[in-house]
Amino acid sequence: MTTHLLAAGMFAFIAAAAPAAVVDSAEALWKFDAADAGSVSLTQVVDSNNGHDATNLSNAGLMNWTTTPADGPTVDLYTDHGRGLQLNPTVQTPGDPEDTVNAAGFSVNGFTVTGSATFATRFKWDGFANDDASGQSAWLYNNGHGASTGWLVGIQNLGGQTRIGQFQYQNGAMRSPASMVINTGVWYDLVVVMLNAAEEGSGTDQLRFFLQADGATVQTAVINGAVNATSAANTYVGSEALGTGGGNVRKAFDGTVDYIGVWDSALTDEQAISILVPEPTSISVIGLLGGAAMLRRRRRA
């Protein structure tokens, strides 16, 4: 019995090592694991990799800690649940032509990535914060986005479909795979890899999408399109713009985020997929342990 448990523990370590190594290589990694519940303070929103901690909170009263399923790549192997950051933006004043929205989130001053980059997260979306036809976007992450800089990642209403995608102002449109429709109340793992050809030294600018709904197979897609070589100074999490107002503040993300990781380089396809799906060794260990709680974070329903 002791030998079997030791072997199982070794296999569990090996199974976790591949995705953990990739996640731990991120330039910034916000695990959102400060508490199971309760209010959010500025000092709790930290980057566990390189100190890119939150500089300011936006409408902190509309944010709280919560528990998440134990499936995320940053969840401890030996727990039966994860932790996450819940963002609850509200409409302060319904308006015509646009609402005034209280966006919940945080900023990181002086931090962005440029050129080739990778964004990864696990999230559950609760719907658009407002009913404005022109404002039905839910931008989870703003990487120094401006007229000719940076990018956004989030959800947008495209012809009646709510799809995940990446946006740059000068392109004038969401780059979104038609198959990657997002539904409310579902946990998704997402990786977006952005390749800047000038930085890579060959090829063409390209976006690679990897999306997995809880219990489903991984969807992948490739879209050719410009990837900005520069970014503005600051990062915003929770909306295109934070605070209270109309315009880009309306485009707030309403839902729960398990973690966010950002790389200042383009991950390979193998690295991206390793974050989303179990390694073969983990499948073997699940069978060996009969589904023990210590391996639940890499299981799928």
Query: Which residues partner with 84 through β-bridges?
Result: 66
120-137 residue pLDDT tens: 999 999 999 988 877 799
Label residue 12 by pLDDT band (50, 70, 90).
very low
Domains and CATH numbers, the chain: 25-277 (2.60.120)
Label residue 173 by pLDDT band (50, 70, 90).
confident
Tell me the torsion sign for CA atoms 21, 24, 30, 34. Answer: positive
Label residue 278 by pLDDT band (50, 70, 90).
low
Place of tokens 């605070």: 243
Q: Which H/E stretch holds residue 246?
A: none
34-67 residue pLDDT tens: 999 999 999 999 999 999 999 999 999 999 999 9
Q: Cβ atoms within 10 A of the Cβ of 11, count?
A: 19
Residue 159, pLDDT score: 87
28-64 core/surface letters (b: 16 or more CB in 10 A; e: else): bbbbbbeeeeeebeeebbbbbbeebbbebbbbbebbb
What Cα–Cα distance (Å) separates residue 93 from each residue in 90, 245, 250, 284? 9, 9, 11, 54
Does position 298 have pLDDT exceeding 80, yes or no? Answer: no
Radius of gyration of the chain (CA): 19
Q: Which two tokens stand for residue 167?
A: 């946006």
Cα–Cα distance measured from residue 35 to residue 57, given in angstroms and rounded to the nearest whole number = 17
Of 41-45, 284-288, 293-297, the range with the highest mean pLDDT is 41-45
Q: Which of 113, 61, 116, 121 is nearest to 88 (CA)?
A: 61
CB–CB of 180/219 below 8 Å? yes
